[in-house]
Amino acid sequence: MPTLRHITAQATYTTPLGQVLIARTEAGLAGLWFESQKWHPAPLDAPERPDDPLLREAATQVTDYFAGRRTRFELPLDLHGSPFQRSVWQALRDIECGATRSYADIARGIGSPQAVRAVGAAVGRNPISVIVPCHRVLGSSGQLTGYAGGLDRKRALLALEENTR
Does residue 134 have an active-site annotation? yes
The CA R_g of the chain, rounded to the nearest whole Å, is 15
Is the separation of the CB atoms in 29 and 58 below 8 Å? yes
d(CA 134, CA 124): 8
- Residue 76: other Cβ atoms inside 10 A: 12
Is the separation of the CB atoms in 117 and 109 below 8 Å? no
| Amino acid of residue 156 | A
CA end-to-end span of the chain: 32
- Active-site option among 79, 106, 134, 160: 134
Which residues carry out catalysis?
Answer: 134
